[in-house]
Amino acid sequence: MFGKKDENKPLGRIDSLIGAGTRVEGCIHFTGGLRIDGEVKGSIVAADGASSSMLVLSEHARVEGAVNVAHLVTNGTVVGPVSVTQSIEMQSKARITGDVEYAVIEIQQGAVIEGRLLHSASKPVELKLATSA
């Protein structure tokens, strides 16, 4: 608890930044960490197999398009479907208009989702019948 590192939290390394006042139109493919303080009109996709990919959206960020990443920390606005293979953290000013597919979710008071929450297990679960041994 105190003084221990939470092993479920992604590393906070940011490799790329889209700054405030910047507007990008088109699909963004990235690896590592991406922070957005500006606007993106287009989808944001982590490279295949990038289980450590992390997208951070500040409270001023706005994304209009699909988001597909491993980890998402948002305090901004997303208009479009969100698919997160590992974890999503929605801070108090976060807004998502669209369906959210997630494995682990944390939502702070004040955050809003206008869409469906779709839980997906990160690892396939094998079910066995009680009668089979």
Is pTM beyond 0.85? Reply is no
Is 67 among the domain residues?
yes
Query: How many domains does the structure of the chain reveal?
Result: 1
- Helices then strands, each counted (H, E), the chain: 0, 16
Is 41 among the domain residues?
yes
pLDDT digits (tens, 9 = 90+) for 22-73: 999 999 999 999 999 999 999 999 986 567 899 999 999 999 999 999 999 9
pLDDT digits (tens, 9 = 90+) for 86-126: 999 999 999 999 999 999 999 999 999 999 999 987 555 44
Give the range of the structural domain holding residue 50, as residue numbers without chain letter. Answer: 16-119
**Could you give the CA distance from residue 11 to residue 26 in angstroms, rounded to a whole number?**
27
Q: What is the DSSP string of 8-54?
A: TSPP----EEE-TT-EEES-EEESSEEEESSEEES-EEEPTT-TT-E
Is 10 among the domain residues?
no
Is 132 among the domain residues?
no
Is 21 among the domain residues?
yes
Q: What is the dihedral of CA 17, 22, 27, 31, to 10 degrees?
A: 0
pLDDT digits (tens, 9 = 90+) for 7-21: 444 456 888 999 999
